[in-house]
């Protein structure tokens, strides 16, 4: 296959490949690579050498993760990662500025990197059958906060001065590790206990995009004002998405 160095399209879907054959990485002119429906359980990070790729289909494999180097395939227009067991996707997907179609359905994604909002050309994003979209109840489970957490929250909220002088260093460090609740109505803080809540956010009035919120308590989820990305984002003028379809079901 090394002699076929001018090959531009390669279809190897529906075989029994258990890994991506290294020789493929020598085919530097490949524009289309289909490897769907195999038994591939990892994607090598040096796939980044195939910089001519516009279509990469890895759907229907056993991938648990995608290397961050995929962000180097800067010409990609169509990326198929559906029907795997992905729990996360790298934030570097946000570097694929020509990406038009991103298939992520039938995985185990619980959250998406906000960087995908950089994909200005993205027209289709499929997300169905991921924990992200089909059951939010689990995300609302909250183990009872520890007494340390509860007292820490109370101390932080009262903003008692000169704590460094009266408390041991480890407690001061703990208090300084508090995270701000994302609910703008709340002003609360949390340490280790939090509610992870998926919220569908209006995206410029046209789309509903799932984003993960970290709240201080289950009660905090009520009455959260809708986040308007056009007005709340610091890069307001930069966001001009043309996303046409977000497939959630």
Using CA atoms, how far residue 12 sits from 57, 65, 94, 104, 128, in Å, is 10, 21, 27, 20, 25
d(CA 164, CA 171): 9
Question: Which residue's CB is nearer to Zn ion, number 201 or number 239?
Answer: 201
- Cβ within 8 Å of residue 133, ≥6 positions away: 127, 198, 210, 248, 249
125-129-130 Cα angle (round to 5): 80
Minimum separation from the CB atom of position 216 to Zn ion (A): 3
Beta pairing class for 179-180 and 189-190? antiparallel
Minimum separation from the CB atom of position 50 to Zn ion (A): 45
- Interface stretch with Zn ion, choices 68-76, 143-151, 176-184, 200-208 (CB under 5 A): 176-184
- The contact mask relative to Zn ion for 137-156 (x = CB under 5 A, - = no) is --------------------
- The contact mask relative to Zn ion for 87-126 (x = CB under 5 A, - = no) is ----------------------------------------
Using CA atoms, how far residue 92 sits from 70, 83, 147, in Å, is 7, 21, 39
Question: What tokens does 174 get?
Answer: 């703990």
The answer to whether 195 contacts Zn ion (rule: CB under 5 A) is no
The answer to whether 182 contacts Zn ion (rule: CB under 5 A) is no
* CB burial of residue 184 (10 Å; 0-12, 13-18, 19+): exposed
Compute how many other C-beta atoms are within 10 angstroms of the C-beta atom of residue 16: 7
The answer to whether 189 contacts Zn ion (rule: CB under 5 A) is no
Minimum separation from the CB atom of position 199 to Zn ion (A): 13
Q: What is the per-residue burial (b if ≥16 Cβ within 10 Å, else e) of 135-151?
A: ebeebeeeeebeeebee
Question: Which residue's CB is nearer to Zn ion, number 35 or number 215?
Answer: 215
Minimum separation from the CB atom of position 184 to Zn ion (A): 9
* Inter-residue contact 98 to 121 (CB < 8 Å): yes
Minimum separation from the CB atom of position 142 to Zn ion (A): 12
Question: Which residue's CB is nearer to Zn ion, number 55 or number 155?
Answer: 155
Question: Which among 32, 63, 25 is positioned nearest to 47, based on CA atoms?
Answer: 25
- Interface stretch with Zn ion, choices 13-21, 56-64, 215-223, 230-238 (CB under 5 A): 215-223
The answer to whether 183 contacts Zn ion (rule: CB under 5 A) is yes
- Interface stretch with Zn ion, choices 25-33, 94-102, 164-172, 212-220 (CB under 5 A): 212-220
- Cβ within 8 Å of residue 11, ≥6 positions away: 32, 34
For Zn ion, the binding residue among 30, 33, 53, 216 (CB under 5 A) is 216
For Zn ion, the binding residue among 12, 142, 186, 239 (CB under 5 A) is 186
The answer to whether 188 contacts Zn ion (rule: CB under 5 A) is yes
Residues at the site binding Zn ion, with contacts judged by CB under 5 A: 181, 183, 186, 188, 215-216, 220
């Amino acid at each position: 296959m090394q002699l076929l160095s001018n090959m531009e399209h390669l279809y190897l879907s529906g075989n029994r490949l258990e890994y991506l054959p290294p020789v493929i990485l020598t085919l530097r002119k490949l524009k289309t690579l289909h490897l769907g429906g195999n038994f591939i359980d990892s994607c090598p990070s040096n796939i980044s050498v195939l910089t001519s790729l516009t279509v990469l289909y890895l759907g229907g494999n056993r991938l648990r993760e995608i290397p961050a180097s995929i962000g180097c395939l800067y010409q990609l227009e169509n990326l198929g990662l559906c029907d795997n067991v992905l729990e996360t996707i790298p934030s570097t997907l946000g570097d694929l500025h020509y990406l038009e179609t991103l298939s992520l359905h039938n995985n185990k994604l619980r959250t998406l990197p906000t960087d995908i909002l950089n994909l200005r050309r993205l027209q289709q994003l499929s997300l169905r059958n991921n924990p992200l979209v089909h059951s939010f109840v689990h995300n609302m489970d909250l183990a009872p906060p520890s007494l340390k957490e509860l007292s820490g929250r109370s101390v932080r909220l009262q903003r008692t001065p000169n704590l460094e002088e009266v408390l041991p260093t480890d407690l001061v460090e703990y208090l300084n590790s508090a995270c701000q609740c994302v609910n703008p109505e709340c002003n609360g803080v949390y340490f280790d206990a939090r509610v992870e809540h998926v919220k569908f956010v209006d995206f410029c009035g046209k789309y509903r995009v799932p984003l993960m919120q970290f709240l201080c308590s289950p009660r905090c989820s009520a009455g959260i004002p809708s986040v308007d990305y056009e007005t709340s984002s610091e890069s307001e003028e930069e966001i001009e998405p043309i996303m046409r379809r977000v497939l959630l079901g």
